Structure 1
């Protein structure tokens, strides 16, 4: 069997796996991994609205003890949107690139890793692939459920490489060794509906919520926490009840997100917003969902291991970054040191998402280099 990473990527793209559907991707992975000696465990967790989600844990154990190295990734993708020149789930392969939803984020990396497994001599230790169908969505029944399974089976990795698209201008220029935390909040300010001509008989919630929004927007949470950038709070929605132009609404709503470094916790930020709401918009209800806390990998072994593999294959010394959004590293770091390394991220989540064929093949070589170093 010969595994071409571009062909594997194309076959994964052809599965319309919009969160939380795996759409056949996990079946493909199982077909590719079993001949390579992996035991594949599919399992489904959760119910609507955040599930069900299908996940895959694939494990190959050698006879001799040694390190447990895990590769983590997700087969789910964001909705393709409008404006594509071709069907986003019918991959187009040109002389230089592959185009389709998930090419960069992150089916290209999964294809590269599976292809990298060929020819790897593993006479010690454990190698596993942790693949979820719910990274782009609520992430309730995906990697969290995988972690539960790993703990139940006493199958905890010593290190984990996540194939998120970490590179910026060129493959190999950046690895991620941490991420900021994220918390979403929904605010609801009560009022009393009434006629705009008789405001004394109503209670308009909009000015109160506007004052609160002004205070939230003016917040300076911190000035950074090297190697993390400053935390930022962003208002993402303000609205009130639908109605005629002659009605003072009975309630007003807002939504916000905070991306935060290690100066804060999600719980403390929710409390801060609740305190400001009590002052500037009394009665406002605050609901929150903490997507993950900030984390930083300090284990230099895995950082150097991946950096050295990148350098050997590309000649670049990757910059270490904690920027960008969230990833499943927010959960996996509880188990072991985590590093993220993958394709350039310029087109992820965009119409016309694409990856260079040379990058996918070079990423395969880097992943194979990492595996050889782990199991040397």
Structure 2
């Protein structure tokens, strides 16, 4: 397909910028230039080395936000890519490059959708873009920071569309209407180091921790609900030992994560974990880190608009889905917006040879345009 597709052209321009998190590599400047030509007012709310663009058009309610990120994950082994990940290349109708699906095609499709929308006539209320370069990294100084700044000004959104890759097998077959919360823990269990030949003189932290770990793994934290599966506890790393086969270690470290639904809370999970550890008489330290709370957008104007737009463009009835990892939607939803994630097929995100179907780019842009029309006209 020739580069006569505006979405394809802009997607390739963004992919060509080596925006490894949190380096924006000029992506936001390019986006701001396109938006300012439409009459958007740009504001840079940068912090901690992260580039954050807030661009707004119009005034009053409703406030509809298009949100996304310019940063991408590392490429992985370059020799396994079939082409340079930052030199976008089309092969057999597929566009390859880091960020092609996650989420530079979504950003390009949003911008082109807004260009067509405004060219067709005025909109009701305020239309804004919230773009960050810190979604794939620590996510401390990106959308989280911008939301805090804007909320302190009294700004409150009505609707938000995040351009994450949400589709499963066909463009538009899923809308993300929520996400599970993510709660991390780093547990250090203390024992007493010594020689393996003198078990009466040591306290093995691995042995001490094993029954507690078995109970944690077997615990049913909740039953889930109509929108979410049950809360999941998973250990991602377990480490102990000095490297010698004749030494009982003095401590054992476990890293774990809860992906939790709205039937549990951060406080309830923490309390139950501590109760299990205490019951087993462990000496321990436990550091907690909350990546994001669960959220859910109920059926309303945003979902109805997106469903109608997707049906119009693709003929599909999208599944309303809450699975997968976390996204910046977890910061926007508590701000008060009906928040959805709509984007291309997510099969290749974060993988070697990340890609997006060229034939999906203009229809994705049409879905964004159709959703905004229904919310703002």
TM-score (norm 1): 0.94
Match of 1:76 in 2: 71
Q: CA deviation at 1:318?
A: 0.8
**Match of residue 112, structure 2, among 106, 115, 134:** 115
Counterpart secondary structure, 2:212: helix
Q: Is the deviation greater in 255-264 or in 142-151?
A: 142-151
Q: Deviations over 1:349-371 (max 9, x none)?
A: 11111000111111011111122
Q: CA deviation at 1:183?
A: 0.5
Match of 2:357 in 1: 356
* Counterpart contact for 1:5–1:108, Cα < 8 Å: yes
Q: CA deviation at 1:281?
A: 5.2
Match of 1:94 in 2: 91
Q: CA deviation at 1:116?
A: 1.0
Counterpart secondary structure, 2:63: strand
Q: Is the deviation greater in 104-113 or in 150-159?
A: 150-159
* Counterpart contact for 2:196–2:246, Cα < 8 Å: yes
Query: Are positions 1:164 and 2:161 aligned together?
Result: no
Match of 2:100 in 1: 103
* Counterpart contact for 1:122–1:375, Cα < 8 Å: no
Q: 2: distance between equivalents of 1:187 and 1:310?
A: 45
Matches within 5 A, 1:41-60: 41-46=43-48, 52-60=49-57
* Counterpart contact for 1:211–1:281, Cα < 8 Å: no
Q: Deviations over 1:191-213 (max 9, x none)?
A: 12111122222221111122222
Q: Is the deviation greater in 13-22 or in 162-171?
A: 13-22
Q: Deviations over 1:57-101 (max 9, x none)?
A: 111115xx4421111111111211112122212211234111111
Q: 2: distance between equivalents of 1:330 and 1:124?
A: 26
Structure 1 unaligned regions, length at least 5: 47-51
Match of 2:374 in 1: 373
**Match of residue 34, structure 2, among 32, 35, 38:** 32
Counterpart secondary structure, 2:31: helix
Counterpart secondary structure, 1:124: coil
Q: CA deviation at 1:258?
A: 0.8
Q: 1: distance between equivalents of 2:208 and 2:87?
A: 50
Q: Is the deviation greater in 103-112 or in 135-144?
A: 135-144
Q: 2: distance between equivalents of 1:158 and 1:248?
A: 58
Q: 2: distance between equivalents of 1:248 and 1:92?
A: 54
Q: 1: distance between equivalents of 2:115 and 2:46?
A: 28
**Match of residue 19, structure 2, among 17, 20, 27:** 17
Query: Are positions 1:67 and 2:69 aligned together?
Result: no
Match of 1:8 in 2: 10
Q: Deviations over 1:121-163 (max 9, x none)?
A: 2343111001111112221111111112222333322111111
Q: Deviations over 1:297-352 (max 9, x none)?
A: 12511110111011111111111111111111211111211111111111111111
* Deviation beyond 3 Å, 4+ runs, structure 1: none
Count of aligned residue pairs for this structure pair: 368
Matches within 5 A, 1:71-220: 71-82=66-77, 83-120=80-117, 121-220=121-220
* Counterpart contact for 1:212–1:281, Cα < 8 Å: no
The RMSD of aligned alpha carbons is: 1.6
Q: 2: distance between equivalents of 1:115 and 1:320?
A: 25
Q: 2: distance between equivalents of 1:85 and 1:3?
A: 24
Q: 1: distance between equivalents of 2:83 and 2:91?
A: 13
* Counterpart contact for 1:189–1:281, Cα < 8 Å: no
Q: Is the deviation greater in 153-162 or in 170-179?
A: 153-162
